Amino acid sequence: MPSARESGSWLKAFGLAPFGFASMLVPVADAAEKTGQLELPSQSITATASEETADGPVKGYVAKRSTTGAKTDTPITEIPQSISVISADRMRDQGALTVQDALRYVSGVRAETFGLDSRGDWSKVRGSSPALFLDGLQQSFGTYTNVRTDPFTLERLEVLKGPASMLYGQSPVGGLINQVSKRPKAEQHTELQLQYGNYNRKQVAVDTTGALNPQGTLLYRLVAIQRDSDTQVDHVKDNRQVLMPSLTWRPNEDIDWTVMANIQRDDSGSTTQFFPHKGTVWNAPYGRIHSNRFASEPGFDEYDSDQTALTSQFSWHLNDTWTLRQNLHWQKSKVSYQSIYAKFARNPPFNADNQTLDRVYYVSKPEVKVWVADQNAEARFDTGPLQHTLLLGGDYQHAVSNREGASGNATPLNVYEPVYGTFDPSVIRLTADPEQRVMQQGLYAQDQIKYEQWLLTLGLRKDWAASQTQGSARQKDDKVTGRAGLTYLFDNGIAPYLSYSESFQPQIGLNRRTLEPYVPLKGKQWELGVKYQPVGSNSLYTAAVYDIREQNRRMPDPLDAMNTLQSGETRARGLELEALVTVTPDWDLIGTYSYTDTTVIKGAPAEQGKRLSSVPENMASVWSQHRFSIGDISGFSVGAGIRYVGTSWDGADRLKTPSSTLVDAMLGYRYQNWNLTLNATNLEDKTYYTTCLARGDCFIGNRRTLVGTLAYNF
């Protein structure tokens, strides 16, 4: 065995002396040789827990900081607008299999607006469909053109409620959902996960991260998923492959550069069958159409999507004042969507036998290329007693889409005793749509000004948007949007605020009668709220009331059924309550309530004064999770939740979608590095409908889902 002095030389030879190991051992070796004994000097080591970052992991359910609400690392209590953060821990405990699953216990959000839909993650935020962002950059362009982000790849979800155009450019009035990807960490950690559930769900996933060099300047992360699954709808699968590698270069404390790739392929079909009111929410001579019924054709129906994406996120802390950031995203998506569904726009919907529905086919094969960039400079400085966080930036979006498609009548189907194989797909003839280009450039400035306990947030932005359909003139729009908010920060953690924000959303196309291009949707919101994060606690309470107005809403043209007019104006106002409570270190509680009142203020006679479709007036939810021991055996956990979604309307105030109350539950056991979890959603296996539209169709919700997850962490 080598002596301590020899060990010191050995450490030097391997380059470890700079870390102090050799210098510590050599003097000890001298003493050891004189006395014949080795006595190490006592060392006092203090470890500090890493603080939460605005885009990093959240321990438990309560996030304290966010970048989505201000594009700066800001405490949530200082953001003068409602924002809800769903952590990875919360998504795991609640058994969220999709992004829309993760939104079930968020105030002001109607998750699963269109029920079980394999084609996308649809929701309503304050009565409007939100935009989907990934790592602060817009992800979705067009309809049915993207893969669905898997929750296993995410660190958190953030829901910013209300207009957000001042920060993000063209976006809906209801808000946006920012999906924050997992990033490399310095600490070595690997999770291996196996899942099995009903509908033959089988999934294996891995998430591994750590340092690539001893200095810790180069970090890696790899997330991979392989899934083979059916769905509650016969003949529709839900298969997925994901490979998401990422690298972070951090040569010093001031520079951070992360590059992330995402390669994903989804092999699925359409779970949406567009069944009519009769046979779903209305009685029919032969009863309700079963929730597993497949209206398309086996072997023909598909919703296959491929995506390759690359994201770069660079940050350079120049000095105590300035920080520069540049975020870039490139994405190529290709989708093959072909399905046959019920021809719901018919009265009566059934044929004479009261069993057979007419069907139509739809084929869409889009390909979209997207380039998105956002660069900004942040300055933190004081002017006398005022503390400033100044943000100056510009962003750019460019999307090019090409599509081939077809639609037409298909053969009828008996939906009670289906016989497939009557439709001949050789009759389909694809035609190419003209290429579409969408562009947007924006410049923005924001200042968060703090004076003692007052915080004033001011922002202004100028956007230039353009769209062009091949063979037609370029359509141009420009708009100035703003945001202002005033917050008072009490010492006890209470933060009341008042804010005003605006949105704009360009519209593609022309009025068929006037040949004039559509003008952008314009929105504005007033919001009064309070946030409370008790000092020293891990809880967050929020309450808000709001009033949203949107102009230039597109309405049906009474003189031309193929045309739409822009004479519409809508209003949404409501109340939202949300509590994330750490009752004890082993007990987490979530409680939400939402009241949403929507009205068409201006519009076609058939719509004016009516409520917006698919927006429940009342929603409430409670989720509780408790960790406990049985005797001397620790590591057990149990959770349960109740979700209430009130009635909603069809858009013409003629048909109500019934309310639903659903129960979710989880059981878990952790032993050393092993973690076993069983999740159940819609525990009672209720058949319910999430939305029925005035055009004639209804959407079926998720039936009972049981999933067991075995994870090994090391």
What is the tens place of the pLDDT at every residue in 362-374?
999 999 999 999 9
Least confident piece of the model among 157-161, 314-318, 342-346, 498-502? 342-346
Q: What is the pLDDT of residues 262-271, one digit of tens each?
A: 999 999 999 9
Q: What is the pLDDT of residues 499-514, one digit of tens each?
A: 999 999 887 777 777 7
pLDDT at position 475 is 84
Q: With beta carbons less than 8 A apart as the criterion, state whether 109 and 127 touch.
A: no
Q: Of 381, 373, 350, whose CA–CA distance to 277 is shortest?
A: 350
Q: What is the pLDDT of residues 56-105, one digit of tens each?
A: 899 999 999 999 999 999 999 999 999 999 999 999 999 999 999 999 99
Q: What is the pLDDT of residues 279-290, one digit of tens each?
A: 999 999 999 999
Structure tokens at 291: 């929730």
Least confident piece of the model among 27-36, 45-54, 198-207, 629-638? 27-36
390 Cβ contact list (under 8 Å, min separation 6): 378, 379, 380, 381, 445, 446, 447, 448
Confidence of residue 568 (pLDDT cuts 50, 70, 90): confident
Structure tokens at 198: 């009903």
pLDDT at position 8 is 39
pLDDT at position 562 is 63
pLDDT at position 24 is 33
Q: Of 59, 106, 123, whose CA–CA distance to 87 is shortest?
A: 59
**DSSP 3-state of 461:** strand
Q: With beta carbons less than 8 A apart as the criterion, state whether 103 and 143 touch.
A: no
What is the Cα–Cα distance from 375 to 387, expressed in whole angstroms?
A: 23
**DSSP 3-state of 9:** helix
Q: With beta carbons less than 8 A apart as the criterion, state whether 694 and 650 touch.
A: yes
Confidence of residue 50 (pLDDT cuts 50, 70, 90): low
**Angle CA 281–284–285, to nearest 5:** 165
**Mean pLDDT, all residues of the chain:** 90
pLDDT at position 152 is 97
pTM for the full predicted model: 0.89
**Going by DSSP bridges, is the β-strand pair 431-432/436-451 parallel, antiparallel, or unpaired?**
unpaired
Per DSSP, what are the bridge partners of residue 261?
A: 310
Say how many Å lie between the first and final Cα of the chain, rounded. 32
What is the Cα–Cα distance from 295 to 301, expressed in whole angstroms?
A: 10
Q: Is the pLDDT of residue 472 over 60?
A: yes
Cα 655 from chain centroid (whole Å): 30
What is the Cα–Cα distance from 686 to 119, expressed in whole angstroms?
A: 23
Confidence of residue 558 (pLDDT cuts 50, 70, 90): low
Task: Give the percent of the chain with pLDDT over 90.
Answer: 80
Which bin fits 216, alpha (ψ -120 to 50), beta or left (φ > 0)?
left
Q: What is the pLDDT of residues 601-643, one digit of tens each?
A: 988 777 889 999 999 999 999 999 999 999 889 999 999 999 9
Task: Give the percent of the chain with pLDDT over 70.
Answer: 92
Confidence of residue 16 (pLDDT cuts 50, 70, 90): very low
Q: Is the pLDDT of residue 3 over 70?
A: no
CA distances from residue 711 to 79, 114, 592 in whole angstroms, order as listed:
36, 32, 30
Residues 483-501, mean pLDDT to the nearest whole number: 97
Confidence of residue 561 (pLDDT cuts 50, 70, 90): low
CB atoms within 10 A of CB 572: 26
Per DSSP, what are the bridge partners of residue 502?
A: 524
pLDDT at position 56 is 87
CB atoms within 10 A of CB 530: 16
Q: Is the pLDDT of residue 21 over 60?
A: no
Q: Is the pLDDT of residue 484 over 60?
A: yes
pLDDT at position 556 is 67
Cα 169 from chain centroid (whole Å): 18
DSSP state of 60: S
Residues 392-402, mean pLDDT to the nearest whole number: 95
Q: For helices 4-13 and 21-35, what crossing angle results, to 10°?
A: 160
Q: What is the pLDDT of residues 166-204, one digit of tens each?
A: 999 988 999 999 999 999 999 999 999 999 999 999 999
Q: What is the pLDDT of residues 221-253, one digit of tens each?
A: 999 999 999 999 999 999 999 999 999 999 999
Which one has a higher pLDDT value, 31 or 694? 694
Q: What is the DSSP string of 664-705?
A: EEEEEEEETTEEEEEEEESTT----EEEE-TTSEEEE----E
Q: Which amino acid is at 165?
A: S
Q: Is the pLDDT of residue 317 over 70?
A: yes
**DSSP 3-state of 271:** coil
Confidence of residue 49 (pLDDT cuts 50, 70, 90): very low
pLDDT at position 681 is 97
Q: Is the pLDDT of residue 42 over 80?
A: no
DSSP state of 576: E
319 Cβ contact list (under 8 Å, min separation 6): none
What is the Cα–Cα distance from 682 to 104, expressed in whole angstroms?
A: 12
Residues 199-216, mean pLDDT to the nearest whole number: 96
What is the Cα–Cα distance from 446 to 392, expressed in whole angstroms?
A: 7
Rounded (10°) CA dihedral 603, 608, 612, 616: 170
CB atoms within 10 A of CB 567: 15
Q: With beta carbons less than 8 A apart as the criterion, state whether 340 and 300 touch.
A: yes
Q: What is the DSSP string of 513-532?
A: TT-PBPPPEEEEEEEEEEEE
pLDDT at position 514 is 75
Tell whether the torsion through CA atoms of 137, 138, 140 and 142 is positive or negative.
negative
